[in-house]
Amino acid sequence: MADEVFLKLKGIKKSFGGVHALNGVDLEIRRGEIHCLAGENGCGKSTLIKAISGVHRVDEGEIWIEGKLCNKMNPIDAINKGIQVIYQDFAVFPNLTVAENIALNGEVKNKTKLVNWKEIHRVAAEAMAQVGAEIDPDVKLEQLSVANKQMVAICRAIINDAKFLILDEPTTALTAREVEKLWTVVRALKEKGIAVMIVNHKLDEIYQIADRLTILRNGAYVSSGPIHEYDQARFTRDMTGRDISQEKYLPKASEEEIFRVENLSLPGAFKDVSFSVHKGDVLGLTGLLGSGRGEIGEALFGIEPAQSGHIYLNGQEITIKNVADAIHNKIGYVPEDRLTEGLFMDRSILDNTIATSIRKYFHGIKLDKAAMEEATDRWIREIGVVTPSSKPAVRTLSGGNAQKVVISKWLNTDPKLFILNGPTVGVDVGAKSEIHAILRELAQKGIGIIVISDDLPELLQNCNKIVVMRDGRVAAVVDNSIEQKELSDLLMGRAE
Amino acid sequence: MKTTKTTPAVPALKKKGLKPDTHITVLLSMMAFVLLLMAVLKPGSYFTISNLRSMIFQFPEYGVLSFGMMICMIAGGIDLSLVGIMNLSGVAAALIITNMGGTNASIVLGCAVALVVGAICGALNGFIIASLSIPAMLVTLCSLQLYTGLALAITGGPAINNMPDAFKNIANGSIGPIPYVLFIFIAVALGMAFIMNCTVFGNEIYFLGSNARAARYSGINTLRVTVMTHMLSGILGGISGILITSHLNSAKSSNGSTYTLLTLLIIVLGGVHPDGGKGKVMGVTLSVLLLQLIANAFTIMRAPDTFKTFVNGCLLVAALILDVVLEKRAAKKAAKS
C-alpha cells in the first residue's frame, strides 16, 4: 500500500504575515490516479500547489514524496522528483515553435551547450506521440489555440520524466470538445502510471475524469474520498460549508413593465430585437458566441449603441448614444471582463465602489470622504464582501468578492435597470449563489435585471424568462420550466 | 478637555489608515540626511538666511512644472511639451507687456494671456491624445517642437528682454526676507493637493490612470478628463512661463531646456508611477525640495556640476529600485490583511 502512494501531505501549514493560507492540509496522491483538488477561490489551492512544487516552503507539516520526507524542496528539487505543474497561463514561449517549446527545457536541463535541432524535433515528436497530440512542430506557439498551447505545455512537462502532473484549472478556457480531448490525454498519462492532480471546481467535469477528490475550505482539509462518494449536495456542502438551495426563481407575475426594447438593431451585431422586463423579472439573455447576446448589453449601456429601434424605461422612451446617456437614465452594466473593464485593480474597495457615483459626494467645494466611506461600508455589509475594511486594493480580493464590488459600484448609483454580462464567470459556488440571491432581491424591489450568460444551468435556475439569441435575432423567448437540453437545442438552432 | 479631544481622534485615525506613507518617510529621511551632512561639512555657509533665500528663488519655476508633469503621468500619460508651453506662454506674456509699455495693467494682461496660452496648448495636447488615441508621449513630443518652434518664430531668435521692474519683481522680490515665489509655490502645491484629493476631477484622473477601460465602463468621460488634465498641466506651464521670464528678465524659446528631464526625475523620485494611477502631491513637493537641497549643497561645496548629474542619476535609479521593493513589501502586507 505504502509504495502505491506517490505524495503524502500531513498537516501542512503556511501563513503569510498573520494570515493562514494553509491551516492543516492533508493530501494523498497515489501513483497513476487522477485526483481532483476542489475548493472555492481563496481556499488555498494555489498555495498548496506552490508548496508541493517547492515554490513556497511550508511552516509546519510533512511532505512525503515516494516515502521520503522532503520538507525543504526548491522548485528544481521538485522537478527532479518528477513533479510538474502546468499553470493557467501555461508559461510557454509564444515566439518559439512547438518543437522548441517542448524540447528546449530538456536541453537546458541536460546542460547542452549547442542546440541540436534534429534532437529537438525527435524529442518533441516523441512527446506528442505519447499524449496523442498532433500539432505541427514548426508552428509558433502564439498561433495555436488555447487547447493546443496546453497540449504543448503537457508535452513539455512529461519529457522530464514526470511522475506527478498538476493541472491548475485546466478547463477554464476550453470548449466542451477540447475538454474531452484533454481528458483523453490525461487518461493516457494515467495509463503510463503518471499521477495527475486537477484543480477544478466544476462538479460535472470532476465526475467525467476524477478517481478521487479532495476538498479544501479556508485553507483547511475538509474531506477526501473516491468520486462516487460525492453527490452534488455533499460536494457543494463540503465546498461552501453550507447547503445551497437549487430552487428555481419563480416570481409572482406582474403587469408592471419596467423595461422594453422594440426592434433594436445594430448592423453586423443584432437585428430587430424586442423583449420586455416586468417587475420582479430576472431576464436571461443567452445565445452562442457571436449570436449578439453580448452586443445587446453593450448597446444598451452605450458602449456600441444600437442604430435603430426604441428603448423604454419605466414607460418613458429613452435614447442611448453613449455611456453617459445610459448612466443618466440609471442603467448599470457589469461588463463581461471584470478585470479589465469592471475594476481598478490597484485601487481600494472604496474607490471602486464610488467610481461611478462620485459626483453625489461632491458637496459645496469638496468631496465628502466620510459619506463615501459610510456608503462603501454599507455595501460591504449588505452585499457581503469579505474584507477587513474598505481600504485593501481590489487586487487582493477573490473573484467572487471582486464581482460583488463591481455590483456595489452600480447599486450605489440607484440603477433602474441593471445589466450583468457573465456575472458569475470565475466566481466560486458560494459567492455565485450569493450574487444570485442579490439579483432576486433587486428584481423584487422593482429594478429591471438582465443577465447575459451562456451558463445554462445558471440561467434556468435564476431567470424566470430567457431570451435566446441566434445569428443576431431573437430565436425564442422561454420561461425556466423547460429542460436544459431543450434550451441548448434552441441555442444551436436544432429545434424551434 | 484633553480626553474628550483625543478619544474620538484615535479610532478615526485607524479607520482612515493615516499611517505615514513609506515613500514620504524615505524622502524625509533623505532630506534629513542631506541637511545633517551639510551641518557637519559646511555649517557656516549652508544654514544661512541668504542661502535659504537663494534656494527659494530657484525651485518654484520647475517645481510648478513638476506638478503639471505629475498629473499627466497619474492620468496614465506624460507631458513632454511642458517646457515648450512654458516658453511660449513666457514669450506671449513678454510680448504683451513690452508692447504695452510695461504698465501694471499690461502685466496683469500679460500674465492672464500666459495662462490662457498654456491652457490652450495643453487642451490641444489632451484633445489629440484622447480623441485619436495616440500615445501621450508621441503627441507631446511633437507638440514640444510645435510650441518651441512657434515661440522661436514669434521672437525671431533673440530673447525679449527689458521687462518692467514690477514684472521682474514677481520672481525676484520678497516680502521681508520671504520671496514671493515661495507663496506662489505653496499656493500651487495646496491647490494641486486639493484638486487631487477633494474633487471629482482629481479622483477621475486617478481612475483614468489606473485603468482607462474600466474608467470608460464606469461612465467617466475619458475625453473630457484627458483634455482637462492636459489643460491644467498647460496652465501650470503658463505659471512657470511667467516665473522664468520674470526670474531671468528674458523670454525666449530655449529657456529651461533641461527642465523636461528634471521634472521627470522629480516626479519619479516623488513616487509617481510611470504606469499611471499612483502619485501624491506631497511626494512630489518633497522631491522638489530634496533636489533643491542637493543642488544647493553642490554649489556650496563648489563641487563640479558634472558630478551633480551623476548624483541625480544615482537618486533616480535608487528611487526606481526603492519603488519596486516598497511595492513588494506592500503586497506582502496586503496579503496579511
CA pair distance B117, B147, nearest whole angstrom: 10
- Minimal Cα distance from B329: which residue of A? A17
Tell me, yes or no, whether B276 lies in a domain: no
Q: What residues of chain A lie within 8 A of the CB of B200, using their CB?
A: 358-359, 362, 367
**pLDDT tens for each residue of A356-409:** 999 889 888 888 989 999 999 999 988 888 888 888 888 888 778 889 999 999
Give the whole-angstrom CA distance, residue B148 versus residue B139: 14
Domain extent listing, chain A: 2-240, 257-492
State whether B194 and A366 contact (CB < 8 Å).
Answer: yes
Q: In this structure, is residue B336 part of a structural domain?
A: no
The CA-based diameter of chain B, rounded to the nearest angstrom, is 69
**Interface probe, candidates B13, B194, B218, chain A, greatest A C-beta count within 10 A:** B218
Reported ipTM: the value is: 0.80
Q: Is residue B120 part of a domain?
A: yes
Q: What is the pLDDT of residue B1?
A: 35
Phi, psi of A418 (to 5 degrees): -125, 115
Count of C-beta atoms within a 10 Å radius of residue A480: 18
Judge: B214–A366 Cβ closer than 8 Å, yes or no: no
Q: Is residue B124 part of a domain?
A: yes
- Enumerate residue ranges in chain B where pLDDT < 70: 1-20, 331-337
Distance to chain B for A452, nearest Cα, Å: 17
A19 to B336: CB separation less than 8 angstroms, yes or no = yes
Fold equal for A2-240 and A257-492: yes
* Cβ-nearest to A17 among B207, B217, B332: B332
Strands A448-452 and A417-421: parallel
A2-240 has which CATH code? 3.40.50.300
Among B17, B219, B337, the residue with its CB nearest the CB of A356 is B219
Which of B205, B217, B220, B280 should one mutate to test binding to chain A, selecting the residue with the greatest count of A CBs within 10 A? Answer: B217
**Among all residues of chain B, which has the CA nearest to that of A298?**
B217
Closest CA to B131 of B238, B200, B225: B225
> Which residues in chain A show pLDDT less than 50?
1-2
Q: Distance (Å, rounded) from C-alpha A376 to C-alpha A121? A: 58
Residue type, B88: L
3-state secondary structure of A174: coil
Whether A197 and A29 have beta carbons less than 8 Å apart is answered as yes
Helix then strand count (H, E) for chain A reads 16, 22
Question: What pLDDT, on the 0 to 100 scale, is given for residue B13?
Answer: 31
Whether residue B113 lies inside any domain: the answer is yes
What are the φ/ψ torsions at residue A481 (nearest 5 degrees)? -85, -10
What are the chain B neighbours of A370 within 8 Å (beta carbons)?
none
pLDDT score, position A304: 92
CA distance B269 to B261: 12
Grid cell of A489 as nine digits: 437545442
Interchain contact, A19 vs B216, CB within 8 Å: no
Nearest neighbour of A344 by CB, restricted to B198, B207, B337: B207
- pTM exceeds 0.80, yes or no: no
As for how many domains chain B has, the answer is 1
For residue B37, report the phi and psi dihedrals to the nearest 5 degrees: -60, -45
- Beta pairing, strands A34-38 & A5-16: unpaired
CB pairs under 8 A between A and B: 89
Measured between CA atoms, how close is A424 to chain B, in angstroms? Answer: 18
Does B2 map to a domain? no
The CATH number that domain A257-492 falls under is 3.40.50.300
φ, ψ for residue B123, nearest 5 deg: -60, -40
**Domain range for B234:** 58-254
> Strand ranges (DSSP E) for chain B?
174-175, 178-179
Q: Are residues A383 and A431 in contact, defined by beta-carbon separation less than 8 angstroms? A: no
Alpha helix segments (H runs only) across A263-312 = 293-300
Residue A365 sits at the chain B interface (C-beta within 8 Å): yes
- The confidence score (pLDDT) of residue A3 equals 56
Using a 10 angstrom Cβ sphere, with 0-12 exposed, 13-18 middle and 19 or more buried, the burial of residue A484 is: exposed
Residue A368 in grid coordinates: 465628502
> What pLDDT digit, counting tens, does each position of B115-159 carry?
999 999 999 999 999 999 999 999 999 999 999 999 999 988 888
Is B261 domain-assigned?
no
Instruction: Give the closest of A303, A335, A359 to B200, CB-based.
Output: A359
pLDDT at A461: 87
- pLDDT of res. A467: 93
Q: What sign does the dihedral A174-A178-A182-A187 (CA atoms) show?
A: positive
Q: Is residue B282 part of a domain?
A: no
Nearest in space to A322 (alpha carbons), one of A300, A343, A337, A338: A300
CA distance B337 to chain A (A): 7
Check if the beta carbon of residue A232 is closer than 8 Å to that of residue A201: no
